[in-house]
Amino acid sequence: MKGYTIAALSLAASNVSAHYIFQQLTVGSTKNAVLKYIRANSNFNQPVTDLTSTDLRCNVGANGATTETLAVKAGDKFTFDLDTPVYHQGPVSIYMSKAPGTAASYDGSGAWFKIYDWGPTFSGGSSSWTLEGSYSFAIPACIPNGDYLLRIQSLAIHNPWPAGIPQFYVSCAQITVTGGGSATPGPTALIPGAFKATDPGYTVNIYSNFNNYTVPGPAVWSCGSAGSNPVTTTSVATTPATTSSTTKPATTSAQALTSTTLSTSTRAATTSAASCSVAKYGQCGGSGFTGCTSCASGSTCNKTNEYYSQCL
């Protein structure tokens, strides 16, 4: 049936163009090829939303056997780059899990510890998130040598629960660490299991009385003063680079200083009467967006950044 064919093509096209994925790993000065050391997924750049799924570990279809493993030194700085900068509000976190054997053969079923969170910044009654095109941190200097999965997660909470379902954008890199120490990282958690539908950081409505936030998952672990991790955030995103509430030093790029804050509203231009309507919190614009740009009454289209506008 012709209508079905068109709808299917349209869905396939949106699968390719929508959302974002962490797809490149940089260590040192080498920005490695797309999905060379990061497990390729099979769901384009769509999110995982099932809290009980093992896909939460490294994304749908992630296959270690077809992924190379990168040798790194404890303390090395690394960067995850995306195809499109993160544009959904929410925290970004970095996790690690030590493989019992090789990283390539590890399914991620063991203990995960968290080494960093980019949470929200609250100022003057509004909030902003660190939405970037790349995220950098350092391998903790004190962790034991061996193979690890290095996992990055953007938890998108732009469509508030329960009307909306938070989205997990995750990727895992495979690394072999040398030059490490003898620390025992913790607390740890299993994935799935680390994130619950009752977590305040999962259920929160960021548009209503939003003035504090706890990033879901186990507490951030670090080596302590003996092995402090330098944080460097660089970005080409149009959203603000903000620092987390940890005591680690952070630097931001000059480009970020010229950006606008998320609380800045930009009314989308509406040039004609629309016959469609986007529900509150739905997408109403952004680069490559071809859907309805007219918001349901009671909400207006606000530009988050070049890639995403939302009815608020």
Which residues contact residue 22 at a Cβ distance below 8 angstroms, ignoring those fewer than 6 apart? 38, 80, 81, 82, 135, 152, 154, 169, 170, 171
Q: Smallest distance from the beta carbon of 302 to Cu ion, in angstroms?
A: 16
Q: Reduce the DSSP state of residue 255 to 3 states and report it.
A: helix
Q: How far is the CB of 169 from Cu ion (least distance, A)?
A: 8
* Number of residues this chain uses to bind Cu ion (CB under 5 A): 1
Smallest gap from residue 18 Cβ to Cu ion (A)? 6
Please identify, using beta-carbon distances, which residue of 16 and 226 lies nearer to Cu ion.
16
Residue, CB closest to Cu ion: 19
Q: Which of 19/98 has CB closer to Cu ion?
A: 19
To the nearest whole angstrom, how small is the minimum distance from the Cβ of residue 88 to Cu ion?
Answer: 5
The residue assigned the tokens 């290095």 is 150
Shortest CB 242 distance to Cu ion, Å: 21
Both tokens assigned to 153: 């997660």
Question: Which of 297, 234, 196 minimizes the C-alpha distance to 29?
Answer: 234
CA distances from 279 to 81, 289, 297, 300, 310 (A): 31, 16, 9, 10, 9
158 binds Cu ion (CB under 5 A): no
> Which window, 19-27, 37-45, 123-131, 177-185, contacts Cu ion (CB under 5 A)?
19-27
Tell me the C-alpha to C-alpha distance, in Å, between residue 173 and each of 8, 25, 52.
32, 7, 22
Q: Which of these ranges, 18-26, 125-133, 173-181, 209-217, lies near Cu ion under the rule CB under 5 A? A: 18-26
19 binds Cu ion (CB under 5 A): yes
Q: Which stretch binds Cu ion (CB under 5 A): 16-24, 213-221, 239-247, 296-304?
A: 16-24
Interstrand relation of 167-178 and 146-156 (parallel, antiparallel or unpaired): antiparallel
Can you give the binding site for Cu ion, defined by CB under 5 A? 19
